Structure 1
Amino acid sequence: MKKIFADLHCHPTMHPFAFKQAGKRKKSSLWSNNAPKKRQRDSPYPEYYQSNMPALARGNVKIVVASLYPLEQSWLDPEIIGTSIISDIIAKYFISHLPIKYINQVQSTGFDYYEFLEKEYEFLKAESGEVHKVDGENWKYVLARDKDEIDQYLLEENTIIVIPSIEGAHSLVSANADELIHKPQVHKSTLENIKKIKEGWEFPPLYITMSHHFYNGMLGHARSIPDGAGSFLLHQQVGMNEPMNPRGEEVIDCLLGINKHEGNGRRILIDTKHMSVAARLWYYDKIKKFNEGKGDAEKIPIIASHMGFGKHDTILGSVTLPDTDKEKYEDSDYFNPWSINLSKEEINIIVDSNGIIGLNMDQRILSGARRVQQSTRFSNSEIKNNDKEVVAFWTEQIGENILEIVRAVQNSDLIVPEGKIKVWDCVCLGTDFDGMINPVDSFIVADEFINLKESLKEYFDNSISDKSVFMGMTTEEVLDKMMFQNVADFVLKHYK
């Protein structure tokens, strides 16, 4: 099997950028070697770096789509956690593991999302092309401008190709969280800022994830914060499940360069992760109408960048029981049934658009309540040593999410039989590493992609009796696609 990898969605800049903004030397470079300690393997709030450049180099990750994310102020709302040193410590150690000085910047009423987006982008650019030693070898990362540069860099040894993306359309607005909701006039800056990105950024984003954890004044979001104090205190319910509004509709047209914004520059694709079901339904219908009668080269692909399988047959079926109903998750089995995850229907819609689905490495996104409960049978020692039983457990959970995505197409009437094999061109890694996730205990950093690939091969070869799910391909072939080639093909086709 090929031993090169790609990741459609992770956050290598998030923590080092925060340390840089706080004036810290330690941990303030993308090359800061903040690897996990053995005791940290089972940490639900990782304080180590998962997708920094040393980890990507050791994992032989050739392509990474780096998500820029101005931290949403609602995580650190002073009205909820206060402004004292105690609240700063709570925010640092239990919400973000970010430096207190940076937390205070985000909490400021003068905080401007777009300003911090540009700062994070400049931070990502700053070390591009610099050579650094990793385990005695010279490595560098490079930002690529287009398909031709990606092709060139793919031929270079020890070179990590980085392509920006943006998480949350709040990032496009010159405003803070309160203004997004209560002062609609601030949204006038959004189209101007998109123009700045399209005309002024040397390395524009491949895609934008329109929603994130909190309401941005353009469209609703799906529930993403589990029950408990965080769910109650953070007020995620504001704007949750709302449909797309006219502001959001225009922003999407502007990003895609369609309708009255046709010809406004390089297309920036839309990622549907975190969107409410109502917003997703609107978007899927829009893309279906746009793509009708067009060849593959002209279609707009649907991106679902860091997802899990949600088990429901239909999109609307995923909200028959609201996500806020405690029993919805507490009664779940293998898979997380929240509407933030993919139904079988929308998997087919994404595949039909020649889109791409990234697999999130977060425990809860990948798992229903029963599976999470089963994972608690492992002792701290077994997890820290990454015993084979722990590896087998999480490999199975990851493998079944992959296979259920494939089976959703294989067993569907929505795609013609000869087109179903395309699903194996649409599944990839979208880890969300460094995005404040609780990673599956056996595969917590990019270093461990090779272990994941080998474990999945063993699981597919020895535990899957019905090999028809591989549609005539070998397990090596499907894993090469999923763990590298699909991302490479996607960016070569659409980053231009």
Structure 2
Amino acid sequence: MPFFDFHCHPGLKPQFANPDTKPSPWIFINAKLAVFNDVTISINKLFNEVLNSQSNLNQLWDNDVKLIGLILHAPEQKIGQALSSKKIVNKGSVNLIDKTQLAYLTTGVHSYELIKEELRWLQKAPMPTGKKFKILTRASEFDEAITDTVWGAIIVEGLHCFFNDPNSPTAKIEFTNNFNEFTNNNTVVAINICHMQQNAFCNHAHGIQFFTPSFFYPTRKGITKWGEEVIQLMINKKILVDIKHMSLKTRWELYTWFKDFTDDTKFIQPIICTHAGVTGLSIAHRAKYLLHTPADRGSVYEVTYLKPKSKHDTETYYNCSSINLYDEDIANIFLSGGIVGLSFDQRILGFADENVLLNVTIPHDMEYISNLEADFFLGPNPTALPAWTDDSEVWASEDFENLDPSLYVEMHRRFLINNIVHILWVANNHPLIDIKKAIKQICIGTDFDGLINAIDCCKDADGLIQLKEDMRDGLIDLLNSEGLNTINVDTLLENIFYNNGKNFMLGRLKVMKG
């Protein structure tokens, strides 16, 4: 059967390479560590898997991934600075990363140029015989019966992508001109307002773990005036807001804006999250499972969460970080007519980072909350919040003592299933949400970008077919345990892996262009 992926980055990795020898988006770019001359060895397993968690166009074609949300993204300045601070990168040891190109990215003044070049390369790179990649401008162009083509619909990850120099005196004028030029010339289905580093439009949720945290502190408060102007421009152009990476307060401001205050089921337009995990919590419990009292770091509070057990599968757990969706986020997305794409990042889905496992420390997740949003998120006295002391409800160190890494494949699959069932559980328990409609509002959004630690049961698109087959029995068991046994699991899997995303994407293209 065909597949759909709401959030896929086949063109990101080549941006780090030497432009003169840039690799094709059709090939697998294997990250290696140079030793001397032409000798290379693999990077450590975790880092290597992270760098290789990207589905190229050839993998997508081979696995019948028929339609993708084609993510265009300019690596942010702070990403470049953080990478440059790593010794193996700074020495030029990683064959994926060209030092000159990295320095170019790190200036932070080429974002608009970079997304245009990424799009050009995806369209112009030589295609293997008998294989094609086409970008949709309208729904009528899509033909499911054509077997030689991967189709893409454009999503831009981060409004920063429309800047030249964000610190220029004319930055706002240039941004607006670039935004209008690009969205007039291309059909852009959705845009993330923010990404990993602070921008001028809204506060973001802290979400990156590999680098010095201060590079990516969220320090703003909610949506800025300029952010409101750009979001309104998006509404006028029928471009959707992808809420991934927005802080909780920012998301809440968006829901308040988009929702008819007289009717909770009426929204200005659908709200989407293309690559999500769930916290498993109501917003009211966002600071419940704390490893210790939040620490004041000046512009931010450092918040460290324990990993609570799932109410659906007690051998799985959640990532409570606010980059993930609370139950109220899920409800607002469903009520708006939007859709949730499930990330394949094992950390986002709730599994503990392998480094935590190896060190046998208490499994936890850490994020940073803007001091300006502390009242909203942590209350009036953050440093008075108590730590959680009941280790029977959370993932404890002793749970790892007999954990065999060979079981990770099965465990990661269970974590993915748990996220699906929790989303359906929220829908089924909401008085205004029709479960028959909700089962059509979930899809996959892998986030295969070469920067995530992907689930072991599906490291890239080559694993999709087996994953779908292997999920069946576990999904049946968990749905039955939650009283959702009226859902046909085979139909649900077909819908999650293909039909739901395809139908939603084509529906939006019809709204935009007919």
TM-score, normalised by the number of residues in structure 2: 0.78
Q: Which amino acid is 1:328 matched to?
A: T
Cα distance change of structure 1 residues 303 and 293 upon mapping to structure 2, 3 Å threshold: closer
1:120-139 aligned within 5 A: 120-127=118-125, 131-133=127-129, 138-139=130-131
Partner of 1:335: 318
Tell me the SS of whatever aligns to 1:328: strand
Select which of 422, 428, 440 maps to 2:443. Answer: 428
Partner residue, 1:199:
184
2:460, 2:12 → 1: CA distance? Answer: 15
Whichever residue aligns with residue 12 of structure 2, its letter is M
Q: Secondary structure at the match of 1:492?
A: helix
| Cα displacement string for residues 142-199 of structure 1 (whole angstroms, at most 9, x for unaligned residues) | 111111002xx212013211112111111122225xx2xxx67512322222210232
Alignment correspondent of 1:105? 104
Q: Per the alignment, do residues 313 and 49 of structure 1 end up closer, same or farther by CA in structure 2, a change over 3 Å counting?
A: closer
Q: For structure 2, which runs of at least 5 residues remain unmatched after alignment?
A: 33-41, 310-316, 353-362, 364-394
Q: Kindly tell me the number of residue pairs found equivalent between the two proteins.
A: 444
Task: Pick the structure with more helix per residue.
Answer: 1
Offset of residue 487 of structure 1: 0.8
Counterpart code for 2:414: E
Q: Which letter maps to 2:247?
A: S
Equivalence map 1:468-487=2 (5 Å):
468-469=483-484, 472-487=486-501
Relative distance call for 1:464 and 1:487 in structure 2 (3 A) is closer
CA distance in 2, matches of 1:114, 1:72: 11
1:255 aligns with 2:215: no
The answer on 1:31 being equivalent to 2:14 is: no
Please say if residues 304 and 357 of structure 1, whose CA atoms lie closer than 8 Å, have aligned partners that are also in contact. yes
Contact kept in structure 2, 1:44 and 1:437, CA below 8 Å: no
The correspondence for 1:119, drawn from 109, 117, 120, is 117
Moved more, 324-333 or 65-74: 324-333
Tell me the equivalent position of 2:367. none
User: 2:286 corresponds to which residue?
Assistant: 318
**Residue in 1 that maps onto 2:205:** 222
- CA 1:195–1:406: 2 relative to 1, 3 Å: same
The verdict on how the C-alpha distance between 1:479 and 1:299 changes in structure 2, with shifts beyond 3 A counting, is farther
* Contact in 1 for aligned 2:307/2:319 (Cα 8 Å): no
- Give 1:386-397 correspondences, 5 Å limit: 389-397=407-415
Mapped to 1, the partners of 2:88 and 2:482 lie a distance apart of 53
Say yes or no: does 1:347 pair with 2:330.
yes
Is the alpha carbon distance of 1:41 and 1:269 closer, same or farther for their aligned partners in structure 2, counting shifts above 3 Å? Answer: farther
- Give the Cα separation in 2 of the matches to 1:143 and 1:327: 41
Q: CA deviation at 1:436?
A: 0.5
Aligned residue number for residue 170 of structure 1: 160
Secondary structure of 1:363 counterpart: coil
| Residue correspondence of structure 1 range 292-441 to structure 2 within 5 A | 300-314=269-283, 317-318=285-286, 328-333=304-309, 334-367=317-350, 369=352, 370=363, 382=406, 389-413=407-431, 415-416=432-433, 419-441=434-456
Report the Cα offset of residue 335 of structure 1: 0.4
Structure 1: gaps spanning 5 or more residues: 258-265, 383-388
How big is the shift at 1:287? 1.4
CA positional deviation for 1:450: 0.7
The AA in structure 2 aligned to 1:120 is: E
Structure-1 separation of matches of 2:150 and 2:21 = 25
Q: What letter is aligned with 1:100?
A: K
Alpha-carbon distance change, 477 to 235 in structure 1, aligned in 2, over 3 angstroms = same
CA distances 1:28-68 after superposition (whole Å, capped 9, x unpaired): 1111134699x889534433362101211222111111111
**CA distance in 2: counterparts of 1:293 and 1:237, whole angstroms:** 33
Structure 1 residue 455 displacement after superposition: 1.2
**Judging changes above 3 Å, is the alpha-carbon distance between structure 1 residues 377 and 30 closer, same or farther for their aligned structure 2 residues?**
farther
Partner of 2:254: 283
- % identical equivalent positions: 24
Paired position in structure 1 for 2:356: none
SS of the counterpart of 1:161? Answer: strand
1:53 aligns with 2:33: no
Q: Deviations over 1:316-341 (max 9, x none)?
A: 64367769766632454400001110
SS of equivalent residue, structure 1 residue 154:
coil
Q: Please give the residue correspondences for 1:433-452 in structure 2 after superposition, counting only pairs within 5 Å.
A: 433-452=448-467
1:441 is paired with a residue of what secondary structure? coil
- Give yes or no for the alignment of 1:454 onto 2:493: no
| Post-superposition CA distance 1:289-338 (Å, at most 9, x none) | 3996998xx95110111110112212x64367769766632454400001
Distance, in Å, in 1 between the alignment partners of 2:334 and 2:93 is 40
Map Cα deviations across residues 409-467 of structure 1 (whole Å, 9 max, x no partner).
11123x15xx2322211111111101510111221011111111011112123455436
How far is the alpha carbon of 1:378 from its aligned partner? 5.7
Residues 241-267 of structure 1 show CA distances to partners (whole Å, capped at 9, x for unaligned) of: x2101000000011121xxxxxxxx42
Mapped contact 1:308–1:360 kept (Cα < 8 A)? yes
Cα distance in 2, alignment partners of residues 477 and 463 from structure 1: 16
TM-score, scaled to structure 1 = 0.81
Q: CA deviation at 1:87?
A: 7.1
Aligned equivalents of 2:438, 2:459: Cα separation in 1: 26
Q: Which amino acid aligns with 2:503?
A: D
The root-mean-square deviation of aligned C-alpha atoms, in Å, is 3.2
CA distance in 2, matches of 1:336, 1:43: 19
**Deviation for aligned residue 1:372:** 10
